[in-house]
Homo-oligomer: A and B are copies of this chain.
Amino acid sequence: MSLNPVEHSVLDAIAARWSPYRFEPRIVEPEKLIQCFEAARWAASSYNEQPWSFLLAQRENDDSFKRMLACLMEANQVWAQNAGVLVLTVINTRFKRGGKPNRVALHDLGQAAAHFALQATALGLQVHQMGGVNLSKIRHEYEIPQGYEPQTALALGYPDQSEPSGESAVELKQRESGPRARLPVREMVFSDKWGDSANFGAP
* A contact residues vs B (CB 8 Å cutoff): 4, 6-11, 13-15, 17, 19, 30-31, 33-35, 37-44, 46, 48, 50, 52-58, 60-61, 64, 90, 103-104, 106-115, 117-119, 122, 127, 129, 131, 141-145, 148, 151-152, 178-179, 181-183, 185, 187-195, 198, 200-202
Nearest CB of B to A2, in Å: 13
Bound-state CA distance A144–B193 (Å) is 8
Contact partner, A194, options B109, B144, B152, B190, Cβ 8 Å: B144
Residue of B nearest to A121 (CB): B11
Assembled-state Cα–Cα distance A112/B182 (Å): 12
Interface SS, A side = mixed
B55, A118: Cβ atoms closer than 8 Å: no
Q: Compute how far the CA of A145 lies from the CA of B196 in the bound complex, rounded to whole angstroms.
A: 12
Contact between chains at A6 and B55 (CB < 8 Å): no
CB-defined contacts of A38 to chain B, threshold 8 Å: 6-10, 185
Q: Would you call A53 and B188 a contact (CB within 8 A)?
A: yes
Contact A39 B14 (CB under 8 A): yes
Task: Tell me which residues across on chain B come within 8 A of A148, comparing CB atoms.
Answer: 194
Out of B43, B55, B195, name the residue touching A190 (CB < 8 Å): B55
Chain B residues whose C-beta falls within 8 Å of the C-beta of A111 in the assembled complex:
110-111, 113-114, 117
Task: Provide the residues of chain B in CB contact with A109, threshold 8 Å.
Answer: 107, 110
The interface centre, meaning the residue of A6, A10, A181 with most chain B CB atoms within 10 A of its CB, is A10
Contact: A194 with B142, CB < 8 Å? yes
A136 to chain B, nearest CB (A): 14
